[in-house]
Chains A and B, each alone.
Chain A
Amino acid sequence: MLENCSFPYQGIKYYNSPQLSSADTPSVNFAALAWSDVPTMLTITQMFSQSLAEITITSISDPSKTWDGLTTPVCVSGITITLNDYILNQEINVNQLATGYQDLAMSVAAHEMGHAFGLDHSQVPQSLMWHSSSRYFSYRIFVPVVDDVRALASLYGWAKDTGFPNEVYPTSSPPCSSLPCYPQYYLIIPNSGSGTWSQTYASSPLPNTYIAIMFAYVTPLTLYRFHMGWEKTSNDPTNMLNRFATLELDNDGAEFVSVTNGGAITNIFTFSGGNIISAFNSYFLELLVECCNELKATAFAFQGSMSTGNGGETFIGSFDSGSGVIDGWTNANLFDTSVWTDSSSSPASSYSVDHFWNFQSGPKQPLPGSPTPPCCTTGGGGAGSLAQGTLITITDGKKVPVQNLKIGDQMLGYDPGTGVYSISIVKATKTVITNNILIINTERGMPLRTDSSPTEILWAKLKNGTSLWLPVTQLTPDDSLFTNGGWIKVTSLQPITTGRHVMYDITATIPYFANGYLDPPKPS
């Protein structure tokens, strides 16, 4: 998974425009909930005023466009995500699905949100950020999965499972009546060979002779499928070193596809026999894993009436074979995994799950040792120049986020006095935080985010044709900014006077291009 840039803060707000269709609205809201629910420090909140939101979401129905979703631009305020209902319908029709529009729309909305947060496309076909809608049609992926979560956490930091370790496990059977609900049961896997259904043990610790790794595929409305796999070769936890399995589901059900550094897989169970499928609001519950002399298993949880007749599918839990401390997603970033889904049809209809949730009860807390997101590291204040994520053109024409520049890097330089392009060398970088920024929108290209300060200047051309280093606070629409593709008109200026914004001062040998616009070689 790659990432482009990130917001300089951890609370991102979105706004559903009046043009967002009623067909897409629930998908969008669920996509936001799914992203917010993963164990990173990023939270996503719906706002009901566009001026308060960084992301605006809208719908069109345009047969002439080929995309089902579009995000533009990324990593700055003023992002618009557009869903194309026409193409979404076409994709459903081409794939001959009687239903599934809302699942697909959710996949697209969540994918585009990932871009808005700063994620690039993934190289993993079974991930939300895979570039093609095959992620949905082949793998039924419509929520962030591990590859996506890892990438998001690399930008915003991991969150700790705040509620899980000390939860008291109620003895009542699901469904519970109010959130948060707690795990009702452990799932116990007897070490008795294949073909044995699991048993449920309410409110009892796992016997230490068992290993349980559980994961499920759950929806707020419907639990369609519950798969599990595990491996165990000994009752001695020391024999469980570094075993890790990747699992995959397809039309044939669940299977292990790889095991590293481990022994034989002794059991694989697929609880449902097939013909059970996803539906809108489905949610993958994932969990892992064993490592380092300990089993690190955890689970997202669900509630509801989930008996299928196949066995005990009414539970989820967690177990640590080592210290006894369940740290859940704590170690998730240490492992790789896959996603489980299937593409069969005829969903079961007898299940009911009220809401999906995980153990992120209360405000998210950063995971100790996790990379701290940028908002918490820099401190200080004062004037900066370029917002995090601003793309600097380097000498080969590629663009590098400003935060990745290092002293000695060679940027594309330009001297407006002589009109000559050459190399501009980075002499110094400095990170500061400001409380206000100015977003400069132009008729083409990316918006530029700078300090809203009279000391911040850009090479500009006034309406009367005069070219000069002009304070951004004196820019007006119809003034032009210089780019390496020529002059581009300013269309609007949007001051943001709230929030904390990570900015970067660059000192260089000659002027350089930031988001395509010529910037002075010395910071403001």
Chain B
Amino acid sequence: MIGIVTKQFASYGATATPPTDIVFQFTISSYIKGNGTSSVYVTDSGSAPDDPMVAKNGDALIEVGQSYFLFLSSDWTCPPSPPYAPCTLPPTALDNTYHIVGGFEGKFLVAQGLVFSYSALYPIPDGGLGTYVNGIPENQFKSEVEST
């Protein structure tokens, strides 16, 4: 889907400071595949984009006010506990809350009609992770996604 982040809605999960598990509220511009409501919650985890460690870890959070092309999933099925750890779930209604598929690899910033992958925005030293998109036209990106 393509959407604009309207606000940072809640934090949850580990008690990191600052919190690294954030629920953002999105206004959806369009769904490329699948469908849903016009306003959804999306979880993201990581660090603030200006964190000096981001470039190393590639885990910059999405930002309020920006437009994104996201690959989302709403599969919140957890393995049983025990033996596995209890599931950490966002506080929002799960049927309208999504997580980003592939995390870092499923986030694409849309700016001035161009699409940028996070691997381009925040290069990871190891490299080779995810699709590298560095400023291709939004429509071209959209049609490539539609054709896959």
- A83–B87 Cα gap in the complex (Å)? 12
Picked from A83, A89, A131, A516, the residue with its CB within 8 Å of the CB of B79 is A89
The 8 A CB mask of B136-148 against A (1 = contact, 0 = none) is 0000000000000
- A65–B81 Cα gap in the complex (Å)? 18
**A63-B76, A64-B43, A445-B53 are contacts. A89–B84 as well, Cβ < 8 Å?**
yes
CB contacts (< 8 Å) of A22 on chain B: these are 82-83
Cβ A85 vs Cβ B103 within 8 A = no
**A61-B79, A86-B78, A89-B79 are contacts. A443–B18 as well, Cβ < 8 Å?**
yes
B34 at the interface (CB under 8 A from A): no
The 8 A CB mask of B41-52 against A (1 = contact, 0 = none) is 001110110111
Cβ A19 vs Cβ B52 within 8 A = no
Cβ B21 vs Cβ A64 within 8 A = yes
CB contacts (< 8 Å) of B76 on chain A: these are 63
How close is A105's CB to chain B, nearest CB, in angstroms? Answer: 10
Cβ B87 vs Cβ A61 within 8 A = yes
Picked from A20, A23, A63, A491, the residue with its CB within 8 Å of the CB of B87 is A63
- A142–B128 Cα gap in the complex (Å)? 22
Cβ B18 vs Cβ A444 within 8 A = yes
- A491–B90 Cα gap in the complex (Å)? 26
How close is B91's CB to chain A, nearest CB, in angstroms? Answer: 12
Cβ B50 vs Cβ A63 within 8 A = no
A59 at the interface (CB under 8 A from B): yes
How close is A58's CB to chain B, nearest CB, in angstroms? Answer: 8
Which residue from chain A places its CB closest to the CB of B104 in the assembled complex? A66
Which residue from chain B places its CB closest to the CB of A130 in the assembled complex? B126
Interface residues on B, range: 35 or more
CB contacts (< 8 Å) of A61 on chain B: these are 78-79, 81, 84-88
- A491–B17 Cα gap in the complex (Å)? 9
Interface residues of A in 26-83 (CB under 8 A from B): 59-67, 82-83
The DSSP consensus for interface residues of chain B is loop
Interface residues of B in 21-70 (CB under 8 A from A): 21, 43-45, 47-48, 50-53
**A60-B14, A86-B78, A443-B17 are contacts. A21–B84 as well, Cβ < 8 Å?**
yes
- A61–B14 Cα gap in the complex (Å)? 11
The DSSP consensus for interface residues of chain A is loop
B13 at the interface (CB under 8 A from A): yes
- A73–B93 Cα gap in the complex (Å)? 33
Which residue from chain A places its CB closest to the CB of B89 in the assembled complex? A63
CB contacts (< 8 Å) of A20 on chain B: these are 85
CB contacts (< 8 Å) of B90 on chain A: these are 64
The 8 A CB mask of A422-450 against B (1 = contact, 0 = none) is 00000000000000000000011110000
CB contacts (< 8 Å) of A355 on chain B: these are none
- A24–B86 Cα gap in the complex (Å)? 13
B102 at the interface (CB under 8 A from A): yes
- A24–B82 Cα gap in the complex (Å)? 11
A135 at the interface (CB under 8 A from B): no
A485 at the interface (CB under 8 A from B): yes
Number of A residues near B (Cβ < 8 Å) is 30
**A64-B90, A444-B18 are contacts. A21–B82 as well, Cβ < 8 Å?**
yes
A121 at the interface (CB under 8 A from B): yes
CB contacts (< 8 Å) of B102 on chain A: these are 66
**A64-B45, A64-B90, A86-B78 are contacts. A59–B85 as well, Cβ < 8 Å?**
yes
Which residue from chain A places its CB closest to the CB of B78 in the assembled complex? A61
Picked from B48, B83, B99, the residue with its CB within 8 Å of the CB of A23 is B83
Cβ B45 vs Cβ A65 within 8 A = yes
CB contacts (< 8 Å) of A23 on chain B: these are 82-85
Which residue from chain B places its CB closest to the CB of A513 in the assembled complex? B52
How close is B78's CB to chain A, nearest CB, in angstroms? Answer: 6
Cβ A64 vs Cβ B83 within 8 A = no
CB contacts (< 8 Å) of A131 on chain B: these are 126
- A85–B85 Cα gap in the complex (Å)? 6
Picked from A19, A67, A485, the residue with its CB within 8 Å of the CB of B85 is A19
Cβ A485 vs Cβ B53 within 8 A = no
User: In the complex, given contacts A61-B79, A61-B87, A89-B79, what are 17 additional A-B residue pairs having Cβ atoms less than 8 angstroms apart?
Assistant: A20-B85, A21-B83, A21-B84, A59-B85, A60-B88, A61-B84, A63-B77, A64-B43, A64-B88, A64-B90, A65-B103, A66-B102, A85-B84, A86-B78, A121-B126, A131-B126, A445-B51
| Chain A residues in the interface with B (C-beta under 8 A) | 19-24, 59-67, 82-83, 85-86, 89, 121, 131, 443-446, 484-485, 491, 516
A-B contact pairs, 5 of them (CB 8 A): A60-B88, A61-B81, A64-B90, A86-B78, A484-B52
